[in-house]
Amino acid sequence: MSVTITRRVALMTPFLAMTGLLGSHVLAKDSDKGIAARLKKLEKRSGGRLGVAVLNTATGQLAGNRLDERFAMCSTFKALAVAFTLSRVDRGQEQLDRRIFFKEGDLVTPFKATKPHLADGMTIEQLCEAALIVSDSTAANLLLASFGGPAALTDYLRSLGDPVTRLDRIELDLNIVKPGEIHDTTSPRAMVATLQKIILGDALSPPSRTKLTNWMIASTDAAAQRLRVGLPNGWRIANKPGTWNGISTNDIGVIFPPGRDPIVVAAYLGAAPGSIKDQEAILAEVARIVAEEI
């Protein structure tokens, strides 16, 4: 598993080098109102609660729907957990080659990458890959344990200037968030600001930033069915989805349009009727709106 993942990631490096050379692209039209209006219509069509933030990094314009409302993060938190792990590596507080051993009782679904390593354990780097590329929840829990748990991750987010996003529990409990509860939640506005800092800003060293971005670009399964599927050919996205039992269907990421500056998106869909495919189609439409309006 880790060998396959690493090969896939290695193929992304030239792409990231290219995007680092991109110049500024000025917004061709005043799209913030268009995006907001179209998202509101899309929410009505979904039958659920749709929270979206879209940040055009070329202009600093932010648009969206329910920007400051709270939504359950579900597995989108894994991007933040990996970022914190990499920041600790940058500061000499962690080593990517440190091996973590675990037992069968530690496994929580999905454990596609971790279960084959019950005998030999996995390195911190392998756990980061597994948490992002195949959304392995056991790997995410092991990373949380490596740096002090959910509260430590929340403290890291506060240090980045994020006053909203919080993690209170581990997998799988963190996915269960009832209406009005704030534990294990974020807002679309807060998430795009944090994503910008960890993927495009200086919160991480350039090598760590490249690793994080590559792993998210290489993500599989649900990551390919949401924002990514709604983008035009040639547009790339480093994204991390999150899902819980038909109640929450989410996706966050940084979009890299060819020859233009990145666009940061956070999309959270809650309490929508229909199948998971129906819900994923709503998130794909979010990406189409972004591509058409920016």
Which of 179, 175, 182 has its CA nearest to residue 246?
A: 175
Which of 97, 90, 88, 89 has its CA nearest to residue 123?
A: 97
Provide the pLDDT for residue 5: 53
Q: Which two tokens stand for residue 35?
A: 């995006």
Provide the pLDDT for residue 118: 99
Provide the pLDDT for residue 282: 99
Provide the pLDDT for residue 146: 99
**Rounded to an integer, what distance in angstroms lies between the CA atom of residue 197 and that of residue 180?**
28
**Rounded to an integer, what distance in angstroms lies between the CA atom of residue 289 and that of residue 105?**
44
Which of 170, 120, 164 has its CA nearest to residue 143?
A: 170
Which of 266, 239, 275 has its CA nearest to residue 65?
A: 266
Catalytic site positions: 75
What is the SS3 assignment for 179-221? CCCCCCEECHHHHHHHHHHHHHCCCCCHHHHHHHHHHHHCCCH
Provide the pLDDT for residue 30: 56
Provide the pLDDT for residue 16: 47
Assign 3-state DSSP to the chain and report helix, strand, coil percentages, each to 5: 45, 15, 35
What is the SS3 assignment for 220-243? CHHHHCCCHHHCCCCCEEEEEEEE
Provide the pLDDT for residue 23: 39
Question: Which domains, and CATH codes, for the chain?
Answer: 42-293 (3.40.710.10)
Q: Are 253 and 227 in contact (CB under 8 A)?
A: yes
Amino acid letter, residue 1: M
What are the C-alpha distances in Å from 253 to residues 19, 124, 168, 232, 278? 15, 23, 22, 15, 20
Q: Which two tokens stand for residue 95?
A: 């080593």
Full pLDDT tens readout for the chain, 294 residues: 444 455 455 545 544 444 443 333 444 445 678 999 999 999 999 999 999 999 999 999 999 999 999 999 999 999 999 999 999 999 999 999 999 999 999 999 999 999 999 999 999 999 999 999 999 999 999 999 999 999 999 999 999 999 999 999 999 999 999 999 999 999 999 999 999 999 999 999 999 999 999 999 999 978 899 999 999 999 999 999 999 999 999 999 999 999 999 999 999 999 999 999 999 999 999 999 999 999
